[in-house]
Structure 1
Amino acid sequence: MNVVLSTLNSKFIHSSLALRYLKAYGEAHGQAYDIVEYTINMPVLHILSDITEHDIDVLGFACYIWNIEMTLHVVDMVKAVRPDIKIVLGGPEVSFTADELLERCPNIDYIVQGEGEEAFHALVTALQLGNDGLNPVIPGVRGRRNGSILGSAEAVEVRDLSTIPFPYTEEDMDDLEHKIIYYESSRGCPFSCQYCLSGNKNTVRFFPQERTLEELQWFIDHGVKQVKFVDRTFNCAPKHHRPLMEFMRDTETDMNYHLEMEPELMTDWETNILCETPPGRIQIEVGVQSTHKKTLDAINRYNDWPYIQKSIRPIIQAGRTHVHMDLIVGLPHEDFNRFGQSFNDLFSLQPHALQIGFLKLLKGSGVRRMREYKYVADPLAPYEVLSTHVLPYDDVRFLKYLEDVFERFYNSERFRTTFGYIGQQLIHGETDAFSYFCDMTRAWLKEGNHKVNLKDIDQIEFLYRFFLAKGDTIAAELLQYDTLVSYRGKVRSEAVGLPKQTKELLQVGEAFWRNEEIASTFIPNYTFKEWRKIRQQYVEMTMSRETASYLGIQHIPEGAFTVIIDVNQEVAPFIRPENIQ
């Protein structure tokens, strides 16, 4: 029997861990499956053409909010030209509404509900034996027979994760060279947040720890650049996660680990290790979602904000671990202004990224059943909320634009120096961060930027105008600096005070550049070769004393001065000495 597993990833760089688990489990039990992956950006007819090149008896699709509608379209097309293929759907998007989907879509033959390794293997075994997989009932498998929907109605879990083999092979490393490697050391979640599906059963199970350490070493040995853990709460069991974090800290590697961590469960131990781990080794995602107690109570979540600040602030200040924090727009009782307070609370920590998400009424989630909050949402996946009992659509719409602006400028980290300075002013000044970014969003909309595709320099020019309109010369000059170092001097514009560097401009300070003895006191091992090399790496610019001081430049003179910026950041900015003979 020829079995093919597929999914439509949201981007090319993504890969499906679920399909590889199914394949590994099947192979361990004598079944061979092929995997073919696509993206939602590919034309349906191209996907259909590729699928029908294969000789298929059973075709399985992993379904998520980002691909469900397109997957159903592909299913209908496949059935239209290959009606004998058995279609099996699985994944979180179909696990809690199997009957509804089977009734709506007659071309679906089976739905695997919950974790699919054991259930899918049992279904394939039944089909190989000539049975329909519905009688006897296979836990987790729902399907149709003669127009009737039969089988199991439960979403299943694999109790013993040690029975699931390692999902990656040597061949995968070639195929996934330029893609994100997903991995998990546990399944389930100890919490029951009502906007999420992971805590539906309040159970957490772990893969064997020694095996996990061996697999992480396997990734290192194969030169993987990043391993993204999909554990819903990585730090929920100290006996499990602490040895893993010690391994990450102590094992020499250039690999990066992405972990989702619950701030309420962080102790001084976790904070300290994230403060001392080698820079860039670990990045954490911290889901706060809201700091409003009434909101948190409604979604069955508990946050102790003072405790979270105590745990997270030192990690951000240490600068070794990238910290990504999350908020959700549209939660109960959180109107526009109260969301702004949650935003300000998180912003006060100056995380490397502050992600603004929008509530989705996921099938199977508690919030989907909360009629009292008068949710209006897109009826199609991803079921994003359009308004609530306290947040009208116009506010949601504006926050969508604010999220886009904030993502472009703050979260991109291209302007980290600029927004580090602005952040300090907002945290300690009269204007709060939410109001400031609302002003920026209004200026963005007033210029009509939300309706056009802007190049990087267009966006930089917008920021420059915005800062000058605010009377913030320091922010404008720091933007010049960030533009030079973020784009290695390749993005320039007269409109932001960054004319193209020319030999003539540099020759104003020719005496400095030709005096290797003096220049090498600022630039170690400096030798003068040719103007082209200097022009590519160094930029001379004027700036205020306040901006120079913020950049850490020493010995700033009272009069005019010229600052030299190394766009490669091999040396810190410095003031070019004058009157060199």
Structure 2
Amino acid sequence: MKVVLSTLNSKFIHSSLALRYLRAYGRTRGQAYDIVEYTINMPVLDIISDLTEHEADIVGFACYIWNIDMTLHVASLLKAVKPEIKIVLGGPEVSYTARRILESHDYIDFIVQGEGEEVFAELVARLDKKESPFKPEITGILGRQRIGETLEQPINYSANTQIEEAEITKIVGSETVAEVADLGTIPFPYDESDMVDLEHKIIYYESSRGCPFSCQYCLSGNANTVRFFPQERTFKELKWFVDHKVKQVKFVDRTFNCAKHHHLPLMQWMHDVATNTNFHLEMEPVLMGDEEVALLSSAPKGRMQIEVGVQSTNPATLQAIRRYNNWDHICKVIAPVIKAGRTHVHMDLIVGLPHEPYERFAQSFNDVFSLTPHALQIGFLKLLQGSGLERSNEFSYVYDPKAPYEVLSTHVMPYEDIRFLKHFEDVFERFYNSERLRTVFGYLGQRLIREKSSAFHYFEALTKAWLQQDLHQRKLNDRDQMAFLHVYFEKQGDVVSQELLEYDCLVSFGGKVRGDELGLPKQTKELLQAGEAFWREETLVRQYIPTYRFVEWRRIRQDYCEHTVSLETAHILGALDNQTLETYQKEGLSKVTLIIDVKQRQRPFVRPEVVAN
């Protein structure tokens, strides 16, 4: 029996851990499954064409909010052209609505509810032996039993079938969400072939399943339990990734730090191992203590990055969603990690939660912004099928009934506010969260906090300026976006931000994004002549660039830019210390010319004045 496992990833760089777990467990039962992955950006008919080439007897799809509608479309066409294929769905998007899916989509044969390794393998074994998958029931398998059908002679459901599906089938089986009791029975999901196939993709991994919390917007805590993979095995598997020089291992544990006996030894191992691999962890800040802070604050830079879900700082909101944040504790454990600068910190907020109108969301934003995380992600509430909020009628939610079920209005936040916040999120993501503009927005963030100004209202004004120019309706390139910011800072009279933006443009785009509208005119021959005498003095240049050797002008101009800025900007960039700044100010200087390494191998420095011979 030929079995194909498939999913539609949201992007090419993503990969499916779930399918590889199914494949690995199937091998323990003597079963072989092929894995074929697509993306939601691929044409449906191309996917159908490829799937049919495999001549499968069973096709299983992993379903998530980003792919459920397209997956159902693919499944319906696949059934139409190959009615003999058994189609099986699994994944979080169908685990809690299995009956509803089967009732609405007559081309689906079975749904795996919950963790599928054991139950899917048993389903395949039964179908291979032409035995009933319902007698006895397989826990976690709900399916369609066709009246009058035998496994040897399936009913052909083509587009011309005249008999109504409801008249000849009934939905039977288990409606229990399955769990694997002993995670140690599931083999390591990756093999050598995956390291070739996934060379340019994100590698997902887990050391635990489940969540100890019961947040009402989420499905992970429905069972309110956590199970762990054997720790010694986890060490070996992480070493396998390191040995294979994997760029990033992204843990999908819903709360990585839920048990100190489990996560602290793993974090210590990540901290100590000699590798360039980055480990991405979802951390619950309320459960963090001195040990976690110490490890994250002293790890080699870039070794770990953490994602911290705050969602809201409003006590009424947190109570309604059954989330128990302690803001003072969050500040205590997160602030030193950010200050240490060793670990990238990503923090999350959600728009549309109960009891959080527009201005109260602004306060939550300002609270989190005050910690200056490297990224502050603004998400929009999605009423996941089967979640507590989706089952509740308390908060007058209006939302899109199709995946991803995004909220359009709430009992305290009208659609107009949510619509504006979508634009706000877009502008904030483009600029503040962009790694390309870390210098200017790092400066702005510190200034807003120092002046006790509302960061939310600063970015609100920036968003309004963006909308007034109808930029949300245009496809903008990098130059367009940088030019918008440059003009905005100019109108604000914010010279330092303008100059820091110019610096970010030089180092982020390798000196290639230039133009008068960015304050970065092209380096003409006349402009370059002023610094020529400096570059010819190799001994002098080596005081700033130890490895410098004059070879040719072209290479110098490719790697270095000369740019005139105010003294304050030069000081912020580290090109002037306090004493030199005071000296220049006393001498009446207002600007200096910096030499900027566009590859950031060393920090900017003030070009010394050299008299040409």
Question: What's the counterpart of residue 153 of structure 2?
Answer: none
Residue from 335, 338, 348 that aligns with 1:316:
338
Report the counterpart of residue 180 of structure 1 in structure 2. Answer: 202
The equivalent residue for 2:546 is 524
The answer to whether the aligner puts 1:266 opposite 2:288 as a matched pair is yes
Partners of 2:35 and 2:531 in 1: how far apart? 62
- Once the 2 structures are TM-superposed, how far is the Cα of residue 430 of structure 1 from its aligned partner? 4.8
Separation (CA, whole Å) in 2 of partners of 1:274 and 1:2: 47
* Alignment-derived partner of residue 101 in structure 1: 101
Q: Work out the CA distance in 1 between the residues paired with 2:210 and 2:561.
A: 53
* CA distance in structure 2 between the partners assigned to 1:313 and 1:446 by the alignment: 36
Q: 1:494 aligns with which of 516, 531, 556?
A: 516
Equivalences for 1:349-364 in 2 at 5 Å? 349-364=371-386
Distance 2:452 2:204 in 1: 43
Tell me which amino acid in the other structure corresponds to 1:416.
R
Trace 1:4-403 onto structure 2 (pairs within 5 A): 4-146=4-146, 147-403=169-425
Alignment partner of 2:126: what SS?
Answer: helix
Find the residue that maps to 1:326 and give its secondary structure: strand
* The one of 543, 556, 562 aligned to 1:534: 556
After TM superposition, the structure 1 stretch with the greater mean CA deviation from structure 2, 467-476 or 183-192, is: 467-476
Paired letter, 1:433:
A
Alignment partners' CA distance in 1, 2:129 and 2:593: 81
- By how many angstroms is 1:302 displaced? 0.4
Deviation string 1:33-91 (CA, Å, 9 cap, x unpaired) is 11111110000000000001012111100000000000000111001110000000000
Q: CA deviation at 1:579?
A: 4.3
Aligned to 1:455: 477
Question: Which of 587, 597, 604 is the aligned partner of 1:573?
Answer: 604
CA contact (8 A) 1:503 1:531 kept: no
- Measured after TM superposition, the shift of residue 126 of structure 1 is 1.0
Shift of 1:546: 1.2
- Give the letter aligned to residue 570 of structure 1: R
- Counterparts of residues 523-562 of structure 1 (less than 5 Å): 523-554=545-576, 555-556=580-581, 557=584, 558-559=588-589, 560-562=591-593
Structure 2 contact 97–386 (Cα < 8 Å) conserved: yes
- What is the alpha-carbon distance in structure 2 between the residues aligned to residue 219 and residue 430 of structure 1? 45
Residue aligned with 1:540, SS:
strand
- Residue deviations 1:334-367, cap 9 Å, x none? 0000000000000000000000000000011001
Deviations 1:398-430 (A, max 9, x none): 000010001100111211110111011111215
* Distance in 2, Cα, partners of 1:304 & 1:112: 37
Counterpart residue type for residue 438 of structure 1: E
Select the residue among 440, 451, 459 that pairs with 1:418.
Answer: 440
- The separation in 1 between residues aligned to 2:366 and 2:470, in whole angstroms, is 27
**Structure 1 runs of 4+ with >3 Å offset:** none
Which residue, 480, 500, 503 being the options, matches 1:481? 503
Deviations 1:316-341 (A, max 9, x none): 01000000000000000000000000
TM-score normalized with structure 1 length: 0.99
Q: Distance in 2 between matches of 1:310 and 1:3?
A: 51
In structure 1, what residue type is equivalent to 2:537?
A: N
Tell me if structure 2 keeps the 8 A contact 1:502–1:535: no
- How far the C-alpha of 1:158 sits from its partner, in A, is 0.6
How many angstroms apart in 1 are the aligned matches of 2:592 and 2:359? 45
SS at 1:52 equivalent: helix
Q: Distance in 1 between matches of 2:435 and 2:449?
A: 19
Return the letter of the residue paired with 2:65.
I
How high is the sequence identity, in percent, across the aligned residues? 66
Indicate which of 469, 485, 494 corresponds to 2:491: 469
Q: Deviations over 1:85-133 (max 9, x none)?
A: 0000000000001111101000000000000001101111111121230
Secondary structure of residue in 1 paired with 2:539: helix
Are the equivalent residues in 1 in contact too, given 2:570–2:592 (CA < 8 A)?
no
Letter in 2 for 1:170: E
Please identify, of 194-203 and 555-564, the stretch whose mean Cα deviation from structure 2 is larger. Answer: 555-564
Aligned to 2:449: 427
Q: Distance in 2 between matches of 1:220 and 1:143?
A: 42
The CA deviation at 1:571 is 2.0
Q: How many angstroms does 1:205 deviate by? A: 0.3
C-alpha distance in 2 between matches for 1:418 and 1:479: 6
From 421, 428, 438, the equivalent of 2:460 is 438
The answer on whether the counterparts of 1:275 and 1:321 sit within 8 Å (CA) in structure 2 is yes
Offset from partner CA, 1:222-246 (integer Å, 9 cap, x none): 1111000000000001111111101
Call closer, same or farther: CA 1:137–1:563 in 2, change over 3 Å: same
What amino acid sits opposite 1:392 in the alignment? P
Structure-2 separation of matches of 1:57 and 1:164: 24
> How far apart are the structure 2 equivalents of 1:280 and 1:503?
40
Give CA deviations for 1:462-502 in whole Å, capped at 9, x if unaligned: 01111111111100000001111111111111111101223
Contact 1:503 1:535 survives alignment (8 Å)? no
After TM superposition, give the deviation of residue 278 of structure 1 in Å: 0.2
Equivalenced residue count is 581
Measured in 2, the distance between the counterparts of 1:278 and 1:368 equals 42
Unaligned runs of 5+ in 1: none
| Structure 2 spans left out of the alignment, 5+ residues | 147-168
Q: Please give the TM-score of this superposition, normalised by the length of structure 2.
A: 0.94
Q: CA RMSD in A?
A: 0.9
Q: Is the 8 A contact 1:503 1:532 kept in 2?
A: no
Q: Is the 8 A contact 1:110 1:141 kept in 2?
A: yes
1:414 counterpart SS class: helix
Q: Report the Cα distance in structure 1 between the residues aligned to 2:315 and 2:225, rounded to whole angstroms.
A: 25
- For 1:372, give the aligned amino acid: E
Aligned match of 2:595: 564
Q: Give the match's secondary structure for 1:215.
A: helix
Residue 239 of structure 1 aligns to which amino acid in structure 2?
Answer: H
